[in-house]
Amino acid sequence: MELWVLFGTFVFLLLIGTPVAFCLGISSFATVLYLGLPPVVVFQRLNSGVSVFALMAIPFFIYAGDLMVRGDIARRLVALAGGLVGHLRGGLGQVNVLASVMFGGVSGSAAADASAVGGLMVPQMKERGYDVDYAVNITVVGSIIALMIPPSHNMIIYSISAGGRISIADLFTAGIIPGLLLAVSLMVAAWFVARRRGYPTEPFPGFRALGGLLASAVPGLILVAIIFGGVRSGIFTASESSNIAVVYALLVTLLVYRTLSWNDFLEATFAAVRTTAMVLMVIGCAASFGWLLAYLRVPASMVALLQGFSDNPIVILLLLNVVLLILGTFMDMSPLIVITTPIFLPVATAFGIDPVHFGVILVLNLGIGLCTPPVGAVLFVGCAVGRIPISQAMKTIWPFYGAAFGTLMLVSYIPALSLWLPSVFR
């Protein structure tokens, strides 16, 4: 009955157009009242859900993106990328995916990645005649790459949730090939969609013009180098590098390009506040909702159901994937890793699935969940950046879901994709 109250209220509010964040919060509030629990817990979870230092990378990357867009850094970078690969079908879509590979290594967070890459690419793609939904779709699904390519905080959370029997170094290495495979699949999908929609290709500008584009984009390239090189060489953590991105974007636009007016600055700041507040409110309310799911033992019941179903590893792997995809639809990633790992990992290992392999499946699978409604932080960031309703993005996102799901199947059933690289490094 408690579950009916929780899900019933949630779905009802969703249908009458209540903002998603509040659907989650209000249905949790109603359920706690129904259970006779002290309702403080809902608001405490909301508060702690957003009071997480690691989340700070999200406002900073969004802010840096807003500053880069208004201060001309983004336009020059994308002009360069357009000069390089714009003559390919869906050129900026391909650049978008590659940007996720690059930023993915830096941010380690799909939501932060969606805000950084989306903030950079979506307005530029819009300007160059691409449909916004196409730009948002690629940005959203492309951000899953960030979860797979190291550093990945979610891999660390998985290892800790598994009781530490799994090497984090192995997990990091194991994510690289699946991450690149996902990138390739998305680029293929982007190519097909671009061909069907007949997006214009741009003429190759010639090497002289390319040189000019490169020169004018140098400060922006330095920013990428600072973020990427800083984290890789160990000078900065991800949160710090997102902050440096803001400071550097301010310095370049104020002192080098001198393109940022006081009004631009205010607009960028308010835009960043609006986007971040909207995204983090969803994350906070999802913390309340997730708390109730755990309190009502929903994940545990799902597993009991699964274990009584089959004894074939291939079927079990498929079932695990399906259950995780369903759970991922409703909940956010890190709480799900923490809750499902201790329950699902023993099932997986009992059927001979390597724990490192399972970790890669888990992170990729729940990464897809971040891009699916009703609860998908990355989808929300993407739609917020592109300023389109979720329903508009949903209509055309399917080829990209397909590419991600295909990659998930390949990664699930070909263990070597995950396990070969770690074995080389060991």
Partner 1 sequence: MQDSMKGLARFTGLLARAALWVAGTGLVLMTIFIAAQVFWRYILNDSLTWSEPASVMIMGWFIFLGAAVGIREGYHLSFDILLYVLPDRAKNWLHTLSDFAVAAFGGGMIWFGSSLADKTAGNMVPSLGISGAFDFIPIVGGGVLIVLFSAERVLRRIAGLPTARFGDAPLEE
Partner 2 sequence: ADLVLRSSDTHPDGYPTVEAVKYMGKLLEERTNGRIGIEVFHSAQLGEEKDTIEQTQFGVIDLNRVSLGPFNNIIEETQVVSLPYIFRSVDHMHKVMDGPIGDEILAAFEAHDLIGLAFYDGGSRSFYNSEKPIKSVDDLKGMKFRVMQSDMFVDMVGALGANATPMPYGEVYSAIQTGVIDGAENNWPSYDSSGHFEVAKYYTLDEHLIVPEVLVMSKKTWDKLSPEDQAIVRQAAKDSVPHMRELWAAQEKKSEEKIRAAGVQIVNDIDKKPFIDAMKPVYEKHVTSAKLKDMVARIQATE
Task: Report residue 282 as tokens.
Answer: 């969803």
Question: Would you say 231 or 282 has its CB closer to partner 2?
Answer: 231
Residues 400 and 403: their CA atoms lie apart, in Å, by 5
Q: Does 195 bind partner 2 (CB under 8 A)?
A: no
Cβ atoms of residues 3 and 11 within 8 Å: no
Q: Using alpha carbons, select from 405, 284, 344 the residue that is nearest to residue 158.
A: 344
| Binding residue (CB under 8 A) for partner 1 from 284, 299, 367, 415 | 284
What distance, in Å, lies between the first and last C-alpha atoms of the chain? 51
Phi, psi angles (nearest 5°) of residue 261 = -85, 170
**Residue number with CB closer to partner 2 (54 or 218):** 54
Per CB under 8 A, 179 contacts partner 2? no
Cβ distance to partner 2 smaller for residue 89 or 153: 153
Q: How many CA atoms lie within 13 A of 269 on its CB side?
A: 9
* 294 is a site residue for partner 1 (CB under 8 A): no
Q: Is 52 in the site for partner 1 (CB under 8 A)?
A: yes
The rounded radius of gyration (Å) of the Cα atoms in the chain is 21
Cα–Cα distance between 423 and 10 in angstroms, integer?
46
User: If binding is defined by CB under 8 A, does position 14 make contact with partner 2?
Assistant: no
Phi and psi at residue 257, to the nearest 5°: -80, -25
CA 78 to chain centre: 21
What secondary structure letter does DSSP report for 166?
Answer: S
| Rounded least distance, CB 6 to Na ion, Å | 17
Under the criterion CB under 8 A, does residue 272 sit at the interface with partner 1? yes
Token pair, residue 220, equals 């922006």
Q: Which residues bind Na ion (CB under 5 A)?
A: 104, 108, 146, 149, 152, 329, 369, 372, 375-376
Restricting to residues 252-271, name those near partner 1 by CB under 8 A.
266, 269-270
Which residue, 221 or 294, has its beta carbon nearer to partner 2? Answer: 294
Residue 393 C-beta: closest distance to partner 2, Å:
30
Scan residues 194-253 and list those touching partner 1 (CB under 8 A): 235-236, 239-240, 243-244, 246-247
Distance CA 2, CA 34 (A): 7
Residues that bind partner 1 (CB under 8 A): 13-23, 25-26, 29, 39-40, 42-44, 46-47, 50-53, 55-56, 59-60, 63, 235-236, 239-240, 243-244, 246-247, 266, 269-270, 272-274, 276-278, 280-282, 284, 373-374, 380, 383-384, 387, 389-391
